[in-house]
């Protein structure tokens, strides 16, 4: 790689900066970085999923409106920071919330609304696919949605020409390339770690299963081509450039790296791609990723097996429900403050309220919160009803309430992690956290350390999130040494940014264990609530 211009402004002006954009569950975020991964500027756009006809979705038009607004926000940030216009970048990469289902016809038009990871509507498909493939197929995976559509004889199934995810769809529209990073691909259909491609034997089993239905395609016909991190995955077309920047300033020809999922960008952002390393992403959903030294002894329906962006097997414990219920309560507290004549921004509310949880009793004072806004596959729920319950003698304080809400967002995760540590003997020495759960002081680290009983560290760039991780992957594509591994590349650039871990406090660990037992017992209430409030 040629020596880069000195100074951020000159780097941006010369087109040497690198851009990553991630379509998260609540925000589309852009991160502009230097080749050494230093953040230079950012942009964002808020959006929300919608429940339409029983399906969690985002309108496709909102994808493009959100991308335009996010990029415009980045341009404004560059202008404000450096007094210059962002004209081009050296490389570009897109990531998005993993899994889900985008089925396209031969012209590339969506056949049905985008079905997100949040949908737990594929139980029948998973019940057949898991034993057939001898592989735990979660309800949110693309193959589960595909087979559920086939089981229900949905009219669009025979017309599918391409099957992809949100990240893959955006990449295709911008480059014309129907490709996918191996990490993102591993949330669609199983990957063979030996080949770094779709598992051919399992693919043959699936094709044999659906052959009597005569759909007119085989699975490999409709799935994207799989690429490892570091490969070039196409270039920005003129039409693609206009989808990002309608002003016409952004030029065609910018190289793009393979599109990835938020799990992969989380592993990159936390430098957790080597065996025995792990990270936990905590936000709208919560999931832990542990890079495996060896295969698990048996199939566990609660545990996903995916791969790192460079193809190493990973055990993922994924909970659909993270901070959404907590976010709703924080918004309510903001309304209460406004009614009392006090104006408070969301950042103020989170910054001042969440640290109070550290002063709560270790078991949250006997309070119980169940945060199921949507279904939760980890515990067998296809729908959710957020609940808060207390006995008359429970200590109902603000500190205990906030601790209960934070604890509740980690209980499903703990269910999955118990399988790995207690049943499979997976050793976890430390996890690295990222996501909104860890913003502010060390309260999030303390709560996570209590839930997992392991030290929790935070990279200095954790607040940059998956968009920054995606920019790092785009930078890896431009590395000078083509043979340098992703793990070595990350060690070279971001290992020093990992903060000192917060160790679990034995009192908090004991308190969370008590809350967790209460939470498991309270799931009986949740089941009745789902039935009663249909």
Q: List the chain pLDDT tens, one digit each, 534 residues.
A: 445 556 999 999 999 999 999 999 889 999 999 999 999 999 999 999 999 999 999 999 999 999 999 999 999 999 999 999 999 999 999 999 988 999 999 999 999 999 998 888 999 999 999 999 999 998 989 999 999 999 999 999 999 999 999 999 999 999 999 999 999 999 999 999 899 999 999 999 999 999 999 999 999 999 999 999 999 999 999 999 999 999 999 999 999 999 999 989 989 988 889 888 899 988 888 989 999 988 899 999 889 899 999 999 999 898 989 999 999 999 999 999 999 999 899 989 999 999 999 999 999 999 999 999 998 988 989 899 999 999 999 999 999 999 999 999 999 999 999 999 999 999 888 899 887 788 878 999 999 999 999 999 988 866 677 899 999 999 999 998 989 999 999 999 887 788 889 999 999 999 999 999 999 999 999 999 999 998
* Res 428: pLDDT: 87
* Res 153: pLDDT: 97
Residue 235 falls inside a structural domain: no
Inter-residue contact 115 to 100 (CB < 8 Å): yes
Residue 396 falls inside a structural domain: yes
The rounded distance, in Å, linking the Cα atoms of 402 and 312 is 37
- Strands 225-227 and 179-181, how do they pair? parallel
**243 bridge partner residues:** none
The rounded distance, in Å, linking the Cα atoms of 268 and 314 is 13
- Strands 197-198 and 191-192, how do they pair? antiparallel
- Cβ-Cβ contacts under 8 Å for 401 (sequence gap 6 or more): 360, 364, 367, 388
* Res 3: pLDDT: 53
The rounded distance, in Å, linking the Cα atoms of 211 and 215 is 7
Inter-residue contact 459 to 497 (CB < 8 Å): yes
Distances (CA, A) of 150 to 46, 162, 171, 363: 34, 15, 26, 46
Which CATH number covers residue 345? 3.30.420.40
Residue 5 falls inside a structural domain: no
* Res 439: pLDDT: 80
Q: How many domains does the chain have?
A: 1
Residue 33 falls inside a structural domain: no
* Res 5: pLDDT: 59
Residue 514 falls inside a structural domain: yes
- Strands 286-291 and 313-319, how do they pair? antiparallel
The rounded distance, in Å, linking the Cα atoms of 240 and 225 is 20
Tokens of 225: 């081509």
Which class for 189: exposed (0-12), middle (13-18), buried (19 or more C-beta within 10 A)? buried
* Res 6: pLDDT: 62
The rounded distance, in Å, linking the Cα atoms of 318 and 198 is 22
C-alpha dihedral, 52 to 58 to 60 to 64, nearest 10°: 150
Residue 471 falls inside a structural domain: no
The rounded distance, in Å, linking the Cα atoms of 318 and 97 is 13
Range of the domain at 416: 324-458+504-532
**92 bridge partner residues:** 19, 256
Nearest CA among 500, 327, 434, 320 for reference residue 31: 434
Residue 160 falls inside a structural domain: no
Tokens of 117: 């990871």
Residue 189 falls inside a structural domain: no
Distances (CA, A) of 109 to 68, 77, 114, 161, 163: 20, 34, 11, 10, 11
Tokens of 63: 């994808």
**Vertex 408 angle, CA 403 and 411, to 5°:** 125
* Res 1: pLDDT: 44
Tokens of 153: 């004889």
- Cβ-Cβ contacts under 8 Å for 58 (sequence gap 6 or more): 47, 49, 50, 114, 116, 166
Which class for 108: exposed (0-12), middle (13-18), buried (19 or more C-beta within 10 A)? middle
The rounded distance, in Å, linking the Cα atoms of 179 and 417 is 32
């Amino acid at each position: 790689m040629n020596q880069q211009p000195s100074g951020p402004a000159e780097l941006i002006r010369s087109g040497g900066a690198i851009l990553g954009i991630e379509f998260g569950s609540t925000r589309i975020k852009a991160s502009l970085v230097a080749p050494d991964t230093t953040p230079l500027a950012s942009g964002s756009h808020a959006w929300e999923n919608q429940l339409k006809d029983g399906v969690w979705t985002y309108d496709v038009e909102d994808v493009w409106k959100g991308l335009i607004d996010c990029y415009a926000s980045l341009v404004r940030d560059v202008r404000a920071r450096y007094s210059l216009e962002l004209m081009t970048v050296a490389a570009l990469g897109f990531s998005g919330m993993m899994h889900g289902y985008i089925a396209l016809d031969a012209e590339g038009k969506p056949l049905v609304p985008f079905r997100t990871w949040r949908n737990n509507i594929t139980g029948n498909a998973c019940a057949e696919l898991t034993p057939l493939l001898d592989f735990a197929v979660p309800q949110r995976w693309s193959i589960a949605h595909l087979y559920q559509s086939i089981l229900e004889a949905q009219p669009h199934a025979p017309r599918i020409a391409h099957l992809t995810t949100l990240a893959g769809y955006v990449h295709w529209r911008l480059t014309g390339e129907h490709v996918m990073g191996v990490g993102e691909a591993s949330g669609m259909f199983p990957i063979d770690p030996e080949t770094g491609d779709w598992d051919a034997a399992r693919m043959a089993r699936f094709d044999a299963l659906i052959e009597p239905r005569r759909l007119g395609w085989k699975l490999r016909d409709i799935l994207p081509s799989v690429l490892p991190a570091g490969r070039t995955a196409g270039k920005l077309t003129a039409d693609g450039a206009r989808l990002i920047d309608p002003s016409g300033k952004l030029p065609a020809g910018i190289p793009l790296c393979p599109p990835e999922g938020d799990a992969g960008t989380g592993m990159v952002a936390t430098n957790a791609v080597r065996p025995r390393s792990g990270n936990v992403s905590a936000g709208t959903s919560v999931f832990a990723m542990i890079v495996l030294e060896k295969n698990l002894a048996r199939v566990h329906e609660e545990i996903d097996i995916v791969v790192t962006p460079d193809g190493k097997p990973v055990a993922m414990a994924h909970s659909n429900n993270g901070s959404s219920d907590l976010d709703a309560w924080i918004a309510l507290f903001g309304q209460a403050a406004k009614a009392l004549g006090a104006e408070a921004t969301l950042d103020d509310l989170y910054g001042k309220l969440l640290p109070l949880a550290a002063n709560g009793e270790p078991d949250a004072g006997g309070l119980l919160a169940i945060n199921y806004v949507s279904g939760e596959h980890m515990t067998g729920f296809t729908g959710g009803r957020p609940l808060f319950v207390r006995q008359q003698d429970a200590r109902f304080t603000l500190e205990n309430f906030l601790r209960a809400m934070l604890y509740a967002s980690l209980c499903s995760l703990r269910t999955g992690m118990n399988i790995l540590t207690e049943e499979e003997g997976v050793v976890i020495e430390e996890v690295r956290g990222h996501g909104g759960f860890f913003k502010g002081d060390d309260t999030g680290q303390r709560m996570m350390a209590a839930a997992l009983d392991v030290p929790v560290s935070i990279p200095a760039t954790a607040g940059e999130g998956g968009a920054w991780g995606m920019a790092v992957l785009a930078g890896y594509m431009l590395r000078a040494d083509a043979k340098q591994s992703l793990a070595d590349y990350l060690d070279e650039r971001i290992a020093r940014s990992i903060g000192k871990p917060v160790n679990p406090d034995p009192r908090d660990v004991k308190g969370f264990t008590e809350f967790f037992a209460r939470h498991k017992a309270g799931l009986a209430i949740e089941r009745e609530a789902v039935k009663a409030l249909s």
